[in-house]
Amino acid sequence: MEGLEVTVLIGLTILVGTMLAPRVRLALPLVLVILGLLLGFVPELREIQLPPETVLLLFLPVMLFWESLTTSLRSIRRDFRYILPMSTLLVVASAFAVAGIGLLFGMPWETALILGAAVAPPDATAVAALGRLLPTRMFMKLKAESLTNDGTALVLYAIAISLALGGNVTPLSVTMSVLVSYLGGIAAGVVIAALAYLLLRRTSSTIVINVTLLLIPFSSFLLAEIVHASGVLAVVVAGLIVAYVSPRVTTASSRRQVAAAWPFGVFLLNGALFVLIGLEVQFVAHEISAAAIGRLVLITLAVWMTLLVVRYLFQVMNAPFQRRNPARPSRGARARSMAVSTVAGMRGAVSLAIALSVPVSSATEGEIAGRDETVFVTAGVILLSLLVQGPLLPAVVRWARFPVDHAEDEEYELAERTISGAALAALDDLAAEHGVGQEIRDRVRAEGYQMLEFSNARALAREQAIVDAEAQALDVMLDEPDPLGNGGSVPETGEESRADAVQTPVRMPDSTRIVDDEDSTDGEVRTLQMLATSVDVDVMQRSPLLRHEEHTRLKLALLDRKREVLLGLRRDRTVDDLVFRRISARLDLEQVRLQGIEDYD
């Protein structure tokens, strides 16, 4: 098929999956994989191949960069003791355990190790797509692990390929490969992020800023590949650095454009990737003889189960080395948490890209034995991971009975009240600095107090809702009658009154009316004409334009003050990066409303 036909086909499949997923109550990635499998029954469509360089050089940099931008740095620092062994030692343990399974089924040692390196790392894109049912802290731990474990898997893959091609592998060469991969990847990410920072400091153009951000992941990956380091780790490091410094070197307008464009682009790439995974599974299944299918299916099931068991056991052995928590959960709660983390560790794009990267032939050694088997088993593990672990995850999360975590809501409310209070405290000084009169000053102060009261009321309402929910759960548990004595009916709330208010017709002032020029000469023009002016306007006073300009200047100065306070809260780790981004997005939206959308000339 031609490239344009493939693009349209994948786009239509994503569209159908997006419409179908809510109806069948399945996660969208699962639906897209199933649709890809169904498309694979058409021989012409089955020939659509997924080149590994496409995944590594087009899909992964963009998706990993976005996941890095939306990752909590505070969570990484707090749970670093958990993340480091899970992204290194667990990958090695999983790879060798899978290699042992391959040996039991008669695979050559080198091929079995390649298979282990391919399926060892959980995938960041699969975790991001299917893991949002998890508690925030667990989701961030799993996401950070998935962002950093690819470097370990790629080092293992390089060693296994060298062994398969007859290379000389020594402990020294392995150590050097690990150091070059990790240190080189980190250095490449730091260098590209630093260059981007220097450029972004010197521009305020939205288009320049966002083109620079788009080039960062690809440049990081390229630089790492040049020095034979981990491109994945370079992209992640660059993304984490840019996420931290971007509020000071980007504009509100550019951030709003990023917030709108990047999630949509990542959604399309993710969707296309899951459809192509389904097609790839069908392709490798038809390339292998029917006699070998049964054996490979057994290997696939054994490898998949081994990965789950190794992940759970590793968490059990790693638990004693974690930081002690005064409010440490019970042993049963920890076991349930480990079970959820085990089910949430799903494989995806990186595993398939590694398997497809196995050389078809070598000029000196010929074709690597078992390449098709490696691709088949890897694709099968990905499929089981998405189609079994994915639907199972919500049930396992419910079984784990995690306590409701209100920390993010509490931090959000604290930050909102703190920045609002700081802005009000600085209002008089800012008004004097920007030459704002008393009338505008009082108006903005009233708006600020109204916003602060709203934040306080929202915090109290949330706390009361928690108390009410606990009381209701206690009533159900004790099987007590309804305390209202009205047969379970709910008293009338403000919703009905608000609905009535919405339906109440609003009368326009007598000074204006809509004129429908259907009787005019062209019969098509509809205009809103001002037939009279307000008698309250005193033309001898200051111009309304001047008052509006003063109001805008003071509001923008207050927004800058709020951002400085918010940055201080993040720097002191009082609020999480996720909370910081939520509030920053609201402040950016308010600034864009005041200033308008800038031109891109």
Mapping DSSP onto H, E and C, the string for 483-517 reads CCCCCCCCCCCHHHHHHHHHHCCCCCCCCEEEEEH
Domains (range + CATH), the chain: 3-320+333-400 (1.20.1530.20), 406-478+543-601 (no CATH)
**Residues 180, 228 contacting (CB under 8 angstroms):** yes
Number of H helices, E strands in the chain: 27, 2
| Tokens read off for 174 | 């392995």
| CA-based nearest residue to 280, from 25, 32, 64 | 32
In this prediction, residue 519 carries a pLDDT of 45
**Residues 124, 64 contacting (CB under 8 angstroms):** yes
**Residues 48, 2 contacting (CB under 8 angstroms):** no
Q: Give me the residues of the chain with pLDDT under 70, please.
A: 1-2, 50, 52, 131, 323-329, 360-368, 479-544, 597-601
> Who contacts 72 (Cβ-Cβ below 8 Å, separation ≥6)?
140, 576, 577, 578
**Residues 345, 326 contacting (CB under 8 angstroms):** no
Helix (H/G/I), strand (E/B), else coil: 38: helix
**Residues 380, 387 contacting (CB under 8 angstroms):** no
In this prediction, residue 479 carries a pLDDT of 64
In this prediction, residue 534 carries a pLDDT of 46
591 C-beta neighbours (distance < 10 Å), count? 20
For residues 161, 165, 170 and 173, what is the CA-based torsion angle, rounded to 10 degrees?
-60
| Tokens read off for 463 | 């706390």
In this prediction, residue 597 carries a pLDDT of 65
Residues 389 and 283: their CA atoms lie apart, in Å, by 23
Q: Which helix (H) or strand (E) holds 130?
A: helix 124-130
Q: Which residues pair with 526 in a beta bridge?
A: 516
| Tokens read off for 106 | 């008669």
In this prediction, residue 559 carries a pLDDT of 93
Regarding pTM above 0.75, the answer is yes
In this prediction, residue 99 carries a pLDDT of 93
Query: How far apart are the two ends of the chain, measured CA to CA in Å?
Result: 39
DSSP label at residue 320: G
In this prediction, residue 327 carries a pLDDT of 55
Phi, psi of 322 (to 5 degrees): -80, 160
Q: Which residues pair with 515 in a beta bridge?
A: 527
506-535 b/e with 16+ CB inside 10 Å = b?
eeeeeeeeeeeeeeeeeeeeeeeeeeeeee
User: What is the full DSSP assignment across 78-109?
Assistant: HTHHHHHHHHTHHHHHHHHHHHHHHHHTT--H
| CA-based nearest residue to 237, from 299, 191, 302 | 191
